Amino acid sequence: MLAKFKGLALLLLKVKFLGTALTMLISIGAYALLFPVWFAVGIVVLIWVHEMGHVLQLRREGIPASAPMFIPFLGAFVAMKQMPKDALAEARVGLAGPVLGTLGGLATLGLYAATREPLFLGLAFFNFIINLFNLAPLLPLDGGRAVGAMSPVFQLLGLVVMVALFFVAPIMAFIALLGLPELWHRWKTRNTPEGKAYYDIPLRQRVGVGMVYLGLIVVLGLLTGATFVPDPAVLQ
């Protein structure tokens, strides 16, 4: 019996999405320490929707990647197993998360409109603000991957933005530390033949990425304001 149980356990560990399921459950438990259980469940589901935007676009780009893995209070991540072919492909992967995440938030807002259940309004607000946060222009956030398609200079300027935002959200310091090694490597290699080829993108496509990026910021900013409710009881 013990041998069979051990074999089953080893088999389960090889299942591709077992890590995703386990880390989702751990994150739900962690969020449930601060919020009602169903709100914690909703938070994790909406983060999963955001991450699936990255997963689907990575598949379209032909880039192998891990399944989404969740980290309590920090969100989740999808690890790319190789770099995209150029900064434009990287921008598409980066923006796909907030795009699908915004749609997930709108669906949640639709549930609130249909049911008038305050829980859905609270979840919609959380979803919009977390997707907006991810558009901050610094690696490894989605915004940092998007602005690189416009110019590597924007990624460097993103560091200044993050330092300024530190006084609003101290977690920005941790995010900046995570992104500094990659940011420094990209800045040093930007003028190498490989670096120039990576960022060699037609102006029309640079403008297109910029329009989508700024458009998402505006839309998410408006939706965040529209769903904000100062009464914490909305989560109950």
First to last CA, the chain: 45
Q: What percent of the chain has pLDDT over 70?
A: 86
Rounded distance between C-alpha atoms, residue 142 and residue 136, angstroms: 7
Q: Give me the mean pLDDT over the 136-143 stretch.
A: 88
| pLDDT tens digits along 52-97 | 999 999 999 999 988 899 989 888 988 888 889 999 999 999 999 9
Global pTM?
0.86
The CB density around residue 18, as the number of other CB atoms within 10 Å, is 13
Residue 1 has pLDDT above 60, yes or no: no
- What is the structure's pLDDT at 233? 55
Residue 139 has pLDDT above 70, yes or no: yes
Which residue has better confidence, 12 or 226? 226
- What is the structure's pLDDT at 15? 54
Q: Which sequence spans correspond to the domains of the chain? A: 13-235
What rounded mean pLDDT belongs to the chain? 86
Rounded distance between C-alpha atoms, residue 183 and residue 160, angstroms: 13
Residue 214 has pLDDT above 60, yes or no: yes
Q: Give me the mean pLDDT over the 139-164 stretch.
A: 82
The CB density around residue 229, as the number of other CB atoms within 10 Å, is 12
Residue 188 has pLDDT above 70, yes or no: yes
